[in-house]
Amino acid sequence: MSYGPNPWHQQSWDWRAAANFVGGGAGSGLIVAAALAGSGAWLFATGALLTGLGLLAVWAEIGRPLRALNVFLHPRRSWMSREAWVAPLLFAAVGAVLLALPYATAAAALLALAFVYCQARILQAAKGIAVWREPLTAPLVVVTGLAGGAGAWLLLTAPTTAAPLLAWLGFAALLAARLALWTAWRGRLRT
């Protein structure tokens, strides 16, 4: 590999960046699932914890962690900046859920959707990895996060109660949508 006038394409990110997208996607999806199911506040807190662990992992990836606050400087042109602005609002909304404030559940769910959408757009905007520029990348990442969160909700609620049929059908629909998007995404990459 060389730098300078000989460009190269980045092939992958390391585990810390991957942990950000897995934790952020599943955590956001869990918050959305908990809001839709009217679940207890502890599931919102678990979703926020997963999202926070993902952000902590990506912070550990930064070569100069003290410069991490620079991420807040460009919300007009950077999806990473937008994600950084949404994250504290999401954590505040989850805190409001824990305090049982009115409309906190809806706010947390909407902010969780905004967070996973920002993550999806970060990947799609990554110039170094050409296959992520495919237009289906963003919907695939969002649906993957929601499916992961729904699966986490089912796993976490199974010991205490049997999930209703509607929850299982929703999870199955998310898995089917994820499979369809992934298949279409892979097919478009082959061309």
Among 150, 151, 144, smallest CA distance to 181 is for 144
Between residues 135 and 13, which one has the greater pLDDT? 135
φ, ψ of residue 136 to 5 degrees: the values are -80, -5
Spell out the long-range contacts of 172-175 with Cβ–Cβ below 8 A and sequence spacing 24 or more: 174/143, 174/146, 174/147, 174/150, 175/147
Per-residue pLDDT at 119 exceeds 90: yes
**Mean of pLDDT values over 20-39:** 95
**Mean of pLDDT values over 120-138:** 87
pLDDT band at 74 (very low <50, low <70, confident <90, very high): confident
pLDDT band at 7 (very low <50, low <70, confident <90, very high): low
Q: Who contacts 96 (Cβ-Cβ below 8 Å, separation ≥6)?
A: 104, 107, 108
pLDDT, residue 71, reads 80
pLDDT band at 11 (very low <50, low <70, confident <90, very high): low
pLDDT, residue 33, reads 96
pLDDT band at 2 (very low <50, low <70, confident <90, very high): low
Per-residue pLDDT at 3 exceeds 70: no
pLDDT, residue 131, reads 84
Using an 8 Å Cβ cutoff, are 115 and 142 in contact? no
CA pair distance 21, 122, nearest whole angstrom: 10
What is the number of other CB atoms lying within 10 angstroms of the CB of residue 96?
18
Lowest mean pLDDT: which of 1-10, 20-29, 131-140? 1-10
CA pair distance 108, 105, nearest whole angstrom: 5
Mean pLDDT of the chain: 89
**Mean of pLDDT values over 63-80:** 81
Using an 8 Å Cβ cutoff, are 116 and 142 in contact? yes
